[in-house]
Amino acid sequence: MRIAPPIDLTDDVRATLESWSRGRSTPARLVARAKIVLLAAQGMENRTIAERVKTTKPTVGHWRSQFAKFGIAGIEKDAARSGRPRKDRVDVERRIIEATTQTKPQNATQWSTRTLARHLRVDHVLVHRVWKAHGLQPHRVRYFKLSNDKHFAEKLVDVAGLYLNPPEHALVLSADEKSQIQALDRTQPGLPIKRGRCGTMTHDYKRYGTTTLFAAIDMLEGKVISECMDRHRHQEWIKFLEKIDQQTPPELALHLIDDNYSAHKHPKVQKWLKRHSRFHIHFIPTSSSWLNVIERFFRDLTDKRIRRGAFTSVDELKEAIFDYIEHHNQSPVPFVWTAQADKILEKVGRARLALNK
């Protein structure tokens, strides 16, 4: 009787095989091979392993031999198979790529693998393989917006310069308001996360009101000055400027970066700024909220505290917001801006050129 070669596993290889054998997002064939090797390492015979894994004895012997010769790489990938390649494969690939990138179906905005396969009379698996090989994803779209601000370059250079080379004896603050934050409670309790299942929440909700968060982040230390108010008019903006004035060292100049919202340019705001000469306002270009760092903080607040929260009142929502900001300010981490203005202008130029074509 032929005796199968012994199998010795290192700790790293054993951990990998055990992970594969559990079958989480692992192909079924690789799960079976991992189980074969693990059982072989326990000294089992091929016949017993075949019964356990529900496969044939020759299959067990083959993958046992492959692992003995090539290690974990020997079972991870199948060996190349012989066979004559399709003669029309190049032409079919060209037709799939051209149809995907240059045409649309009559009743839809983009192709799916099956609709394009029916249109070209090919197998939908082939369409999928061609798309994957060429990085084509018709079902996905990326949103963009190019600023039409006539002074885009000047404003960009000004704001990016403040981020990269802040002036001495001054604080650079990125400020804005996050308006209409909704206090939402779900109509039914959600289920908690557990092994093999994510947490759940109902798609519908009860709305208890809204609040507007005014916030400014110190670009040097990362601390946030904040206030929640019911509205976001110029009166509320002036109140928030007064709070910034009170909570920052009086001997330092303040360079405030904000957007072009009308409340920020109101005549009464301009009069207030004239009376407080240490404030210097720097407006970002229109349609360029990505240039205002506070928007990044707003995104974190939404993702980590608001979107999946449940609030039965506006006061409860405010308490959650202030709790998040207080926790952030206990160990603040500044957002570090690294993009050079000239690099951004080059990228915008390329985008305009592509858009004009």
The residues pairing with 258 across neighbouring beta strands, listed in sequence order, are 283
One-letter amino acid identity for 156?
L
CA-CA distances (angstroms) from residue 32 to 8, 44, 48, 52? 18, 15, 14, 10
Summarize pLDDT for 196-223 with one digit per residue, the tens: 889 999 999 999 999 999 999 999 999 9
Using a cut of 0.85, tell me whether the model's pTM lies above it.
Answer: no
Residues 175-207 as b or e (16 or more Cβ within 10 Å = b): bbbbeebebbbbeeeeeeeeeeeeeebeeeeee
Summarize pLDDT for 108-126 with one digit per residue, the tens: 999 999 999 999 999 999 9
DSSP label at residue 307: T
144 φ/ψ sector (left φ>0, alpha ψ -120 to 50, else beta)? beta
pLDDT number for residue 41: 87
d(CA 287, CA 259): 9
d(CA 221, CA 31): 50
Token pair in block for residue 2? 């032929």
- Of residues 334 and 81, the one with the higher pLDDT is 334
Residues 332-356 as b or e (16 or more Cβ within 10 Å = b): eeeeebeeebeebeeebeeeeeeee
pLDDT number for residue 145: 87
Mean per-residue pLDDT, 71-96: 79
Name the percent of the chain lying above pLDDT 70. 96
pLDDT number for residue 82: 67
Cβ neighbours of residue 18 closer than 8 Å, sequence gap 6 or more:
34, 38
